[in-house]
Every structure is written in C-alpha cells, then in structure tokens.
Structure 1
Amino acid sequence: MQIDIRDATPGDAGLLAQWSAAMALETESRVLTPATILAGVKAGIADAARARYFIASGSAGLGGGETVRVDVGTLMLTREWSDWRNGDWWWIQSVYVDPGYRRRGVLSALYRHVEVLARQTDGVIGLRLYVERDNAVAQRTYSALGMADAGYRIYEAGFSD
C-alpha cells in the first residue's frame, strides 16, 4: 500500500477528534468528552505553536479495480524546550491508525515523515513520546522504529479532566 502524509487542515478536525476519542478508549479505557476533544483539535490545527497534525492516506479498493484514497492514521507533534541542550524536543502524541490498516506501514510512514522534518529543522534535538506502561505492542513498535526507553517516568498534577 502506498502511503502519503499531509498536514491536517481545519476540515480534518472532526476525524482527528474521533480518532483521539477512539485512541483514549482503546489504550486507557477512557471516555473523553467529544466537544472538548474537538475544541482541542481545532485549537491545535489553528496554532502551529501548540501542535502540528499529520494525516496518512492509503488506498482502498472500491471493487472492479477502482481505488480511492482514504485517511488511515494520524500523529500530532508538540514541542518542548530543553535548556540543557539549547533546542527543541518534538513530542509525538495522539498516534492513531485505523484498525483496518494496522501492521501495513502506516505508523512507520508517519514516523519517518516527522523524523525527516525534525532532522531538517534547525534547533530540533530529537523525537520523544510517551507510551502506556503496559502497552507492550506499542513499545515493540516504537523500538522497531529505532526509539529507546529514555528511562523517565511521567508524573502529573491534573487540574481538569
């Protein structure tokens, strides 16, 4: 399957919000508020300083040899300043691949796309992500992409749900 990667547009907000809700339910058994997710996605798309979303598209057969391009996965980037290294970490977040397209290179294509962009962007010092402690499948996938456990645990003090 040929996979193309593009920047998300405001018209993609609904799909990205659906995928975000599906990912939260699948990975953390959390039901998120649709209006909050949609507002968050729209805010991220509107302000590149907050987030940058990418969408992977692949081919789907219509029968009779016809195919159509369909959106099959996404990831979002955010930035974190490192004074230790005088540069930005790019954080990979909100990763989701449609279940019907998993294990077909979608995540790998998204990752390689942002890796190339990061290496070409002055001041970017690397890529990071966090993964659920018990999500062994995701951990193996990220390891296969060349990422390694950085040895950190993440703590938080949430102020809203």
Structure 2
Amino acid sequence: MITIRKATLADISFLVDFQQKLAQETENVTLDTVVLHKGMQALFDDPSKGFYNVVEDNGTVIGCHMITYEWSDWRNGLVWWLQSVYVIESYRKQGIFKLMYENIVNIIQKDPSLIGLRLYVDKSNARAMKVYESIGMNGEHYTVYEWMK
C-alpha cells in the first residue's frame, strides 16, 4: 500500500541518497554528502525553511519531495514550492509523482492561507516537464533566473 507522510530525522539517510541520485540523473552534478546532510539537518531544525514528505510502499521509502515557502504580497498568501522530487527507478511510470502532487494540491485546497504551487525544472529535463504538463501544470508564465554563490 502506497502512503505519503511527513519525513522525520530517521529518513535522512534515504533523503541524502535520493538527492544525490536526483542531482546526478537530472543535472550530472555530484553533491557533497557532508554539505547535503547539513542542509537537510538545517531543514529539520528549522521548519520555517520547509519540509520533506516521503512516499512509502508497505513501509519501504520509495520517493520524496520537499516543500519550501514563498510569501506573495500580491495575493496575500503563501505559495508552496515543490522541490527535490525523487522516485526510485523501479517505481517510476506508476503514478507515484501524481499521488505526491494530488496530496499537495489537496492540502493547499483545504487551507485558505495557501494559494498555489510552483516548481522549477532544469530546461534539459524533458522527461520531468512532460510529467508536469500531463498533470495540468503550466510552465508558460514565468522564467526563473538565478544567481548562486
């Protein structure tokens, strides 16, 4: 049985592993394990930064995603950002991401202080873009620019 729950510190080894795989698969980037672990620990230590959810199949962690927050003064509400989405390969193309997405949307729809969901995707990740479009997300309105130290 597939379930989704908020991640705990006990899940951090799965999360580190999944994020290293995600970075390698999608952007051919190798993440520093120590830095990644510290970053996740900081998220657990300060819930105002966001949270992780994990997906389980009969108690086995098979996927995850992170939610972070953006305040919209224009709309006087909180926008959730969906990030760090990973599903282990043997569970892909089985609707796991769709379950994650529907779970998030249900939470947003029930809470009047939450006004929407956004995500960003590497422009070369055509597979992910196809999935996002298939569930009704729209990537036409904004382009994300960044500067990173």
TM-score (norm 1): 0.88
1:124 equivalent in alignment to 2:114: yes
Paired with 2:124 and 2:141, the residues of 1 have a C-alpha distance of: 15
**1:10-159 correspondence to structure 2 within 5 Å:** 10-59=9-58, 69-159=59-149
Paired with 1:46 and 1:119, the residues of 2 have a C-alpha distance of: 27
Native 8 Å contact 1:24 1:32 kept in 2: yes
Native 8 Å contact 1:88 1:125 kept in 2: yes
**1:41-85 residue CA offsets vs partner (Å, 9 max, x unmatched):** 1111232210111000114xxxxxxxxx31110000001011111
State the 1:145 CA deviation. 1.5
What is the SS of the residue equivalent to 2:82? strand
Native 8 Å contact 1:10 1:46 kept in 2: no
Native 8 Å contact 1:19 1:96 kept in 2: yes
TM-score (norm 2): 0.95
**1:120-147 residue CA offsets vs partner (Å, 9 max, x unmatched):** 1221110000011121111111111211
Decide which structure has the larger Cα Rg and report it.
1
Paired with 1:150 and 1:120, the residues of 2 have a C-alpha distance of: 26
What is the SS of the residue equivalent to 1:149? coil
Moved over 2 A (4+): none
> What fraction of aligned residue pairs are identical, expressed as a percent?
36
Counterpart AA for 1:30: V
Counterpart AA for 1:20: Q
Paired with 1:141 and 1:5, the residues of 2 have a C-alpha distance of: 19
